[in-house]
Structure 1
Amino acid sequence: MLYLTGERLHPHHVRAATFDRRWRGIDPAQVYDYLSRVADEMDRLHRELITANTEAERIRQALRQWQARQHNSRPAGRPAGERR
């Protein structure tokens, strides 16, 4: 099986991929070594994506808290854009 249709490609799919043997084909060891490197890179990128998403969520929450503090600290009756 080369790939699963309708499903996202994950590192374990790359590592588990198998190919039909052909008489005049490429070196299977080279193919599987390369697929292992691709899967390792996918793992690394997935970890980086999780880290970036976690950091983005932390920043979003901090921004919401800051906005709430700013909104609550405005004097009553004064529009948001008006200065003293």
Structure 2
Amino acid sequence: MQRLLPQHVRAATFDRRRWRGLDPEQVYAYLDRLADELERLTRDLCTANTEGERIRQALRQWQSRHTDCRHTQVAPNSRWHR
């Protein structure tokens, strides 16, 4: 199933019934609100994914700079030992 995007909601059409049915103005107003919300959520998700990738890269860089720290032992009588 294809992901629902704001432009899909904005492009949705409905049959107009002569005697019964939904008020097209209300339907389209609701769809506009829904599309706006999807647009906001899409932006927020993109921002979160970008930030997550930035953090992952920073962590990888930090880990590669500190690989020697894992193998270094502190002498028991050293002032840094607790």
- TM-score tier, shorter chain, comes to 0.7 to 0.9
Please tell me whether Structure 1 or Structure 2 has the larger radius of gyration of its CA atoms.
2
Deviation at 1:39, TM superposition (A): 0.1
Which position in structure 2 is the counterpart of 1:9? 4
SS at match of 1:49: helix
**% identical aligned pairs:** 66
Unaligned runs of 5+ in 2: 75-82
Shift of 1:15: 0.4
After superposition, residues 1-80 of structure 1 pair within 5 angstroms as 6-22=1-17, 23-71=19-67, 73-74=68-69, 80=70
Alignment partners' CA distance in 2, 1:26 and 1:50:
35
Work out the number of aligned pairs and report it.
73
SS at match of 1:25: coil
Any stretches of 5+ residues in structure 1 without a counterpart? 1-5, 75-79
RMSD: 1.5
Q: TM-score, normalised by structure 1?
A: 0.79
Normalized against structure 2, the TM-score is what? 0.81
Separation in 1, partners of 2:16, 2:6:
22
In structure 2, distance between residues paired with 1:24 and 1:83:
80
